[in-house]
Each structure stands twice: as structure tokens, then as C-alpha cells.
Structure 1
């Protein structure tokens, strides 16, 4: 009788950038993500890498770009000393350092596990800079990020099974305006008018969403993170943040990931990325090519 082979034991571990994905994303981690709507990793990026990312973001805000072709949308003009949040979408166009991080196969491989898919593409990325306004700024709302669902902004995509990786570029907690999530809120489905990233009234948004048909308590949990840790959350998980009450900026890079077969769903909501499909895009057209680079497995466009 021929010898039977243990197929499981023979499988090669998935190792990306020195990280064993099989050991990192265990069944318990998958259960936590699916039940709570988010998961915070151990440190995935070194102090040296974090310093490079911070420098790259500062260069970008100063107008120093690695490409003369600018994104179609993104950073608004911010006066020096303004308490307003700076947000640059598709920052990977502007900085080679940022592109290496936000399109990395490491994030893509982890996102693939959480989304339960084989192929992952970048939907878009963000560089976010929240100025510090000091400990007396508790009533200042300019730095607030409203409670929102990412998919509330992305309804032109064919699935809500998308995943966001939020990279802390310094130690982050409530004091410096770190992200907060509503635990388990991804199970509530797509809420009405949840495209509220730019709204500043956190209490008002909580009241609005709590009055909708939700099944569970409003459990507001801070993502307390060290520099180099990454929070991964579902596209339906409500999240937001308050003011930065320190004197130092709170910076992060964000990678919004989608299954590789995500397509255009017209008639629901405009998104600036749609312009990259061209002037006559039809339902079912894939979000593919260099505007939505493949992250996992690392492919050739």
C-alpha cells in the first residue's frame, strides 16, 4: 500500500517580509476580527521604518513629491498653525516610501486572511496628519474624525467585504486623538448616511446611528497602539476619533484593501476614484490596473 502524505504538514508557510502569516493570523485572531470588527497587530514596522514614513509624510506636506503627476483628489489647503486635519488620498502617487508601505504584500497577505480571499488590491490609501492643539483644546472639534463606516463612502464598489489597515506612526491613544472603534458594529450592516468622515459632532453622530435599527450596544473602544502596530478593521465597522490634546502631530498611513475581483456598481454613490475607469464605465467593470495596484499575491500589472 503506498505511503500516505500529510498534505497539511507539507505545506510551505506563508512568510512575507519576514513575518509568518500563518502564525500571525491564527484561528483565534480570525474569530476576534469577525466578532469584534477589528484587530490590532503586534508591531509590524520597525522604528527605522516609522521614521522613514514620518519623514516621507512631512516631505509630502511640504510639496516635495516623487512624481510630477498628482492624484485626482486629496489634500486641501491648510494654513500653518491650523487645527484642521490634513488628509491626502492616493498618497502612493506622491511618495515612493509611502507607496512601498501602503501597497505592501505584508498588509495584503493579512487583508486576504481577514477578507477570506486569494487576491487583494488597493482601493486607495491615505496619509493623515492631525495637529496637536494642547491639553486645553478639549472643545476644539477641527481635529475630530466623525463616526463613519468606510463602505458608507465606497458604495460604488461591488462588495462591503473590504478591509482597512491603519498604521500608527507614533504611540497612539486617546490623548493624541487616536482611532476609536464601535466594537461589533460591522454586524449592523450598512447604516443610512454613514459617509460621515468629515463630520465633527461625535455625540450627534452617535445619537443618529443609535436611532437606526442596530442590534447591540454602542461600545466605544480606543485603539491604543505603539508606533509600528497596525489596526485592521472591516469596512462596516464604525470608527472615528477626537482631538489631539498634545503638542505633537498624530500621524498615520492607511491602506484600504479590496478583494481582487471588486467591480464598479453604478447609481449608488460617486467616489473620486471612479474617474480612473474612464468616461463611459459600465456596471461590472473591474477596479484593476495601476490605479488599484495588486497587493497580494504580488503580481505584475
Structure 2
């Protein structure tokens, strides 16, 4: 069955967030429920995730799929070819650090703008892995979309992303049953600014919640040290999450991670998808994402938070 037509954000500009099924732009649809099983992680991989707080080197895209997605990246990289739907983005920073020697392009909401970024949200392999990793009880879990992100670091002066826990920025939703998928669209190395993780840091909390945010502009790598305990400082042993093009890392919402600058001669581009379990609720009457409001205590659902996977579909 073909996907329905999207509603328009403005005349002639479709808003793809109004379509809650894949468009067929990036992958072949699953027509047999039993086909989901071929994307399942092994029990050993799931245990590794809960031990360290992350998984590395999970293949999710082919090189061809990465190259096609990179073609859409041009709309967000300051080129003359601007997408007519840029106002749909929840956030857009051509350089979030405001330092021309430390450039970091960062945006949220691009799944609304292009068919390829829209369909990336629905990629079966990613949804299956996410369903397996969301629940600490190791039970397959229904999955909803939270939001996407793009991070791009240009050659030689690409910026840092300071150490943080993702859930520190997401406390407007609860309970904490979230997960982040970081997809490498270029090979990611220590030289070009790959993510680094602190193993076991997904167990670091403050009064049952996440660590406080120490740098909203992402540029001070050492700022997290001001809020760590002595034990946490002793455990602070970064691991470089090297990824090949098309591979992803999956990490827990409390996993402390960050990335250093790009000192290489090529760009370092990544697409990030953030998910939560069906049943997570709003914890604010304020704005959740730009233009999105759900009353406090009510379930996160609707146009911007599509339902993506149900284990019952595997039958």
C-alpha cells in the first residue's frame, strides 16, 4: 500500500512528519512479519549494552544509502541551495559553538523536510535493535520516535561536542526509557572527531535523575569535571567509538559521551535518531520541541512522535 500524501507546511512545501509510514525512498518495506527477526541483536550484544551503556560497530546502512543521505545534507551546510522548509526545523545552528575555529553544524527536525531523512526514521534494522535495547528487563518494547539530529564537523576546524548525558536535555519526558542511535555517514576516527564513551557511566545519577548540563553550547570538553564525584573521576576513562561509514553506535540516555574536534582533511558527518518506549509521557506543559505541546502527564504521541514498531508485528 502506498503512503498517503503529506500535508503542506506552506504552499508547495510538504511536511513529511504528517506521514507515519515509510515512503519507499531508502529501503524495501517488510511484507512478512517474520522478516523482522533477521535484524535481531544477539543476547551477548544486549548484555554488552547494559554492561557498558553503549554498543559500537552495528551495521545499519550501505555506502550507497549513506551517499544518498549525504546529498540531502547540503541543505543544512550553509550552501546557496536552501531547503524551502527550513522553518520546520526544531533547531538549526550553522555553528553551535559560535567559534569559527571550532565549527559544529547541528540541527533537529530534518525528517520533516526530505523523503530520505523521513525514511531513515523507519529503518527496520534500527527499530528492531532499539526495541531490544530500550527495556532493562530485556523485553521487546514498542517504539516511538523522539527526534532526529545532524552533526557535521568540517575538515581541519570541526568542533567538539562536550561530555554530556542525553537525558539531561530530555527531562521534560518521563519515565526514562530512551535510546540514541548515532550513524556514521563518513568513517569516524580519533582524528576526525569520533564519539568517545565512558563505560559504565549510564549508572551515574543525581537524586535519581541525570547529571546537570554543564555547557549548552557543547564547546567546553572539561566542564563536566566540575560536577563529577571523586569515584566518577576515577572511572572517567574514555573509549573511542570508531565507526566505519554506515555503522552506528547505540547508547543509553545516561551514557556519558562527547567528541573532540576534526583535525582531518575530510568532513565528519553523522545522522542521529532518538527514540523512546511507547507510553513515555510529557512532564511539562511547556514546549517539548518547537511548536509541539502535550499536557503534562499525557502520553507522547501525535504528529511529531510516530509509533514505529510493535513486537506483535513479528507474528
Query: What is the TM-score with the length of structure 2 in the denominator?
Result: 0.77
Is the CA contact (8 Å cut-off) linking 1:21 and 1:110 kept in structure 2? Answer: yes
Query: What are the within-5 Å matches in structure 2 for residues 1-301 of structure 1?
Result: 14-16=34-36, 20-22=38-40, 25-61=41-77, 62=79, 63-65=81-83, 68=85, 70-78=87-95, 83-116=102-135, 117-133=140-156, 143-189=159-205, 190-194=209-213, 196=215, 198-205=217-224, 207-211=225-229, 214=232, 217-266=235-284, 272-273=288-289, 275-277=291-293, 281-297=294-310
Deviation string for 1:16-75 (max 9, x for gaps)?
4xx7123xx11111110001000024322111101011111123433443x637325211
| 4+ residue runs over 6 A deviation | none
Q: Which moved more, 1:108-117 or 1:160-169?
A: 108-117
Tell me how far apart the structure 2 counterparts of residues 216 and 292 of structure 1 sit (CA, whole Å). 39
Question: Is the 1:178–1:242 Cα contact (8 Å) retained in structure 2?
Answer: yes
Change (3 A) 1:83 1:102: farther
The change in CA–CA distance for 1:82 and 1:203 in structure 2 (over 3 A counts) is closer
Q: Which runs of 5+ in 2 are unaligned?
A: 1-31
Asked if structure 1 preserves the Cα contact closer than 8 Å seen for 2:189 and 2:242, the reply is: yes
For residues 170 and 176 of structure 1, do their structure 2 counterparts lie closer, same or farther at Cα, with a shift above 3 Å needed?
A: same
Query: 1:127 & 1:283 partners in 2: Cα distance?
Result: 28
> Aligned partners of 2:233, 2:34: CA distance in 1, in Å?
37
Structure 2 counterpart SS, 1:289: coil
Over 3 Å counting, the alpha-carbon distance change for 1:36 and 1:71 in structure 2 is: same
| 8 Å contact from structure 2 (residues 204, 211) kept in 1 | no
When residues 289 and 208 of structure 1 are mapped into structure 2, their CA distance, relative to the original with a 3 A threshold, is: same
Report the Cα distance in structure 2 between the residues aligned to 1:237 and 1:54, rounded to whole angstroms.
27
Q: Distance in 1 between matches of 2:311 and 2:214?
A: 31
Residue-by-residue CA offset, 1:77-96 (whole Å, 9 max, x unaligned): 459x7642011101101121
Task: Indicate if the aligned counterparts of 1:83 and 1:131 stay in contact, CA closer than 8 A.
Answer: no
Q: Secondary structure at the match of 2:274?
A: strand
Distance 1:14 1:158 in 2: 32
Distance 1:37 1:196, change over 3 A: farther
Task: State whether residues 193 and 268 of structure 2, in contact with CA within 8 Å, keep that contact through their aligned partners in structure 1.
Answer: yes
Deviation per CA, 1:217-264: give whole Å up to 9, x if none: 112001011001010000000000001001211000000010011111
* Separation in 1, partners of 2:122, 2:215: 25
Q: CA 1:180–1:124 in structure 2 vs 1: closer, same or farther (change >3 Å)?
A: same
3-state SS of paired residue (2:133): helix
- Residues 90 and 290 of structure 2 are in contact (CA less than 8 Å); yes or no, is this contact kept in structure 1? no
Q: Provide the aligned length of Structure 1 versus Structure 2.
A: 269
On the 8 A contact 1:156/1:271 being kept in 2, the answer is: no
